């Protein structure tokens, strides 16, 4: 009985140095690698890149 808004989703909040406030970043697929997909986090307001993340494919053994 958890409220829908509380669900862990792709919503990531990071501090944007340009906007000078925490923003809910936009997740953008950057690269598809053999070991996983690389995503880039950008600010939805100014478009600044705030970080990146590698989502490992679980079907692949760790290299």
Residues in the site for Zn ion, rule: CB under 5 A? 16, 18-19, 43, 45-46, 48
Distance in Å, CB of 28 to Zn ion, minimum: 14
- Pick between residue 40 and residue 48 the one whose CB is nearest to Zn ion: 48
Phi, psi of 6 (to 5 degrees): -90, -10
Straight-line distance from the first to the last Cα atom of the chain, in angstroms, rounded to the nearest whole number: 39
Spatial distance between the Cα atoms of 5 and 34, rounded to a whole number of angstroms: 33
Minimum CB separation of residue 50 from Zn ion in Å reads 8
Q: Which is nearer to Zn ion, 39 or 50 (CB)?
A: 50
């Amino acid at each position: 009985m958890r409220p829908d808004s509380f669900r862990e989703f792709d919503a990531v909040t990071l501090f944007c140095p340009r906007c000078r406030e925490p923003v809910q970043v936009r997740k953008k697929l950057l690269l598809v690698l053999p070991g996983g997909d690389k995503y880039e986090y950008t600010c939805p307001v100014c478009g600044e890149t705030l970080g990146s993340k590698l989502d490992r494919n679980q079907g692949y053994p760790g290299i």
